[in-house]
Amino acid sequence: MDSLSHRLIFIRHGETDWNVEGRLQGQRDIPLNGRGRDQAASAGREARKYIAREGLTDLRYVASPLSRTRDTMELARGAMGLDPKDYALDPRLMELSFGRWEGLIWPEVKLLDPDAAKAREGDKWLFQPPGGESYAMLADRLRPWLATVTGDTVVVSHGGVARVLMAMIGGIPVSEAPLMDIHQGRALIFQNGGRRWL
């Protein structure tokens, strides 16, 4: 596990129609739906209360460059009373790539690629979908980004990124991190080697 001396306020992007359908989005650029937009604003309001309660100042704001994360950041910042457009993008925060499985639902994956689907169940952290990334590979992508976190930061990213951060800085074993539920419309605080939901 890596150490992080600052606080991360992590917000997963709001809901998309593919989330509702159970489709593997990965790095496909799928927009928020109406509920997702509401979730983004709600997460911003909760983060604003937390930031005020904790007396945090000089926060950095950074998002994955996909439209669902950019829109979530802008709606959250608007709900926080901030300029919606004043934040940075970092491609290292993009979602885990599911490669050729993107766009499929799990029953389709199991029908089309049963051996690989079974292998994934055996070790979700190390399994690499065809043409995609493993969680371990995503951790390698995120490690240099974490090294740039030099102050308290609000980050808007994806469920896979949150799971990897849980293993890297949140105190969750790599065997359990890929199984964690990552809520939309709530902020997740990483601090002092642990994590908690707002």
Catalytic residues: 13, 95
Structure-token pair, residue 47: 């983060």
Least Cα distance to 79 among 50, 47, 54 occurs for 47
Q: Taking the mean position of all CA atoms in its chain, how far away is CA 62?
A: 12
Residue by residue, DSSP assigns 55-109 as: T--S-EEEE-SSHHHHHHHHHHHHHTTS-TT--EE-GGGSPPP-GGGTT-BHHHH
Vertex 70 angle, CA 22 and 49, to 5°: 95
